[in-house]
Amino acid sequence: EDQVTQSPEALRLQEGESSSLNCSYTVSGLRGLFWYRQDPGKGPEFLFTLYSAGEEKEKERLKATLTKKESFLHITAPKPEDSATYLCAVQAGGEDKIIFGKGTRLHILP
Amino acid sequence: DGGITQSPKYLFRKEGQNVTLSCEQNLNHDAMYWYRQDPGQGLRLIYYSQIVNDFQKGDIAEGYSVSREKKESFPLTVTSAQKNPTAFYLCASAGRDRGQPQHFGDGTRLSIL
């Protein structure tokens, strides 16, 4: 069964304290792995798509990487405005649907 | 600007009542999706549509219905058969090619009176 697991469930960091969020997946042939940011009461905002192992994408303080079994979202020198829930999702080969993980709630303390 | 519009932002339902949530997109996307989000549960797929006049059940379709008469619109009806409808409902759309990311609206929060 296709599955996506995110860890940790929640993470509190001091401003400027870099860390990584993990997304482990098991799918039959990866079509794409997606990272989203979700603020309270809002819809998820698309961040990155990764298609193959070894691929990396960057945007401001965020960097997403992909291996054959997991993806990491690295946050460098975070600011309080980076506080949000980060969602990972995967699309398996031959599927029209994507499967979401339960997310990591990130809180950056000033 | 292109995007997805969900309305209303907040909706209240009485027991035994059907309610319809609106979702409109101007991204020229073929595929549209409805999700339900509950605390600690992540996003669960209700229904999706890859093309006009066609749609498929997702993982939790019972108590819900949809229609896709226009490419831009994918309304969701929460029927009285849905026993636990209180949740945050999200609509998304995506390009037809596989591997395209879904883009989301800002959701409708449904509560029971």
Convert chain A into a string of H (helix), E (strand) and C (coil).
CCEEEEECCEEEEECCCCEEEEEEEECCCEEEEEEEEECCCCCCEEEEEECCCCCEEEECCEEEEECCCEEEEEECCCCHHHCEEEEEEEEECCCCCCEECCCEEEEEEC
Q: Which residue has the higher pLDDT, B96 or B30?
A: B30
The pLDDT tens digits of the residues spanning B12-70 come to 988 889 999 999 999 999 999 999 999 878 899 999 999 999 999 999 999 999 999 99
Q: Is the pLDDT at B98 greater than 80, yes or no?
A: no
Q: What is the pLDDT of residue A41?
A: 93
The pLDDT tens digits of the residues spanning B65-88 come to 999 999 999 999 999 888 899 999
CB contact under 8 A, A31 and B99: yes
Identify which of A31, A41, A101 has the shortest CB distance to residue B98.
A31
Using a 10 angstrom Cβ sphere, with 0-12 exposed, 13-18 middle and 19 or more buried, the burial of residue B88 is: middle
Q: What is the pLDDT of residue B1?
A: 63
Identify which of A46, A89, A101 has the shortest CB distance to residue B103.
A46
Count of CB pairs separated by less than 8 Å, A with B: 59
Positions of chain A with pLDDT lower than 70, given as ranges: none
Residues of B in contact with A103 (CB under 8 A): 42
pLDDT-derived band of residue B4, with 50, 70 and 90 as boundaries?
A: very high
CB contact under 8 A, B98 and A103: no
